[in-house]
Amino acid sequence: MATIVYDDYLTSANKYLDPQKQQAIKDLNALYQSQANTVTSQYDTEVGKANTAYEDQYRENAVQKLINERQVAENMANLGLTDSGLNRTQQTAVQLSYANQKGAIDRAKQAQIDALNQQKAQNLATIEQNRLAGQNEINQYYADLAAQNATSAYNTALEQDRQYREAQLQADLELRKKALEYEAEQQQANNYILQTSGGLLRRDFQGSLKDNNVDVIYNIDGTTTYVDNNSGKKTTLSSNINPYTGTINKDTENGVFSNGYQPNNVNGSKLSKVEGAVIEINGNNQSVWKAGSKYYFWSGKDNKYYQLTNNELKQLGIK
């Protein structure tokens, strides 16, 4: 099984829960945005009311200015001082009174509007703080939930992996036990090169047939008999039949070596043994043969000669 990594399960849990978390944050933002919109609307209304309230005071101040100007004009006319310095002084006093009153109204209105805006800003800041706190709570909740889910899945996977490995180990032990039993049963039979009369020779033995106490008898009728003196089994085949594969090799038309089946030529070129030259192939030592200018070794398994590579020739010291 693949390696079990906790972070992989945590990543998967976060990915699974992310749509739910994003929806919760979206709903939270919508709630606090609604509150912010309500506060903004309320204070915008209050500012509008304040502006309207002070408009009345502006009009009253303007009306009072007109009244004062008229009274000054009438008094000066009655005294015959219409174009006098006193008249101009009293008119200036009226203008100054008007300006002072307007300034007082401006300051009062601005102070009220500033207070309203400050209170609105404070309320909106409180709403934003609550929104951020709520978002942090959502993030923490889903982080904890993902960790719980990942831990549960991780522990389950570990237990399943343990049970699988335990079962696999038990199965391997059973197979090994059966293999050993089978090997013990077959060991005696495998000691024989020829296990059944009329069968083929086993390929995986070391040395020549003669070395393994197997006689090769060339019969006058063109057949060859192989007698395994170990098992007492024998088989008779046409001399051009490979006793290991049961197939015909065309090179046997020129005869075979007397130490067992093996053609004595390659494509009609006679083979001569290179004395002292041996190459290891698949754990077995094979003699080296020469035909013309080329070198070969015989594979009874594949029923053919293989030409040695330059590297193999170099290892043997053959140029």
Residues 148-200 pLDDT 10s: 998 998 899 888 888 988 998 999 898 988 888 777 656 666 678 888 899 99
Alpha-carbon distance of 249 to 240, in angstroms, equals 6
Burial (0-12, 13-18, 19+ Cβ within 10 Å), 274: middle
Residue 131: half-sphere exposure toward Cβ, Cα within 13 Å:
18
What is the pLDDT tens value at each position of the chain, 319 positions in all?
568 888 888 899 899 999 999 999 999 999 989 888 988 888 888 877 777 777 767 677 566 667 666 675 666 566 655 555 555 665 666 566 667 666 676 687 777 777 877 888 888 888 889 989 989 999 999 999 989 998 998 899 888 888 988 998 999 898 988 888 777 656 666 678 888 899 999 877 777 788 888 999 888 998 899 999 988 899 999 888 888 888 888 888 777 886 667 888 898 889 999 998 998 887 778 889 999 999 999 887 788 899 999 998 988 888 7
Alpha-carbon distance of 27 to 40, in angstroms, equals 20
Burial (0-12, 13-18, 19+ Cβ within 10 Å), 209: buried
The answer to whether the beta carbons of residues 264 and 257 sit under 8 Å apart is yes
Place of tokens 């739910």: 20
Domain segments of the chain: what residues? 6-171, 214-316
DSSP conformation letters of 186-252: HHHHHT-S--STTSPPPS--SS-TTTTTEEEEE-TTSEEEEEETTT--EEEEETTB-TTT--B-GGG
The answer to whether the beta carbons of residues 301 and 308 sit under 8 Å apart is no
3-state helix, strand, coil in the chain (%, to 5): 60, 15, 25
Report the chain's terminal Cα–Cα distance, integer Å: 52
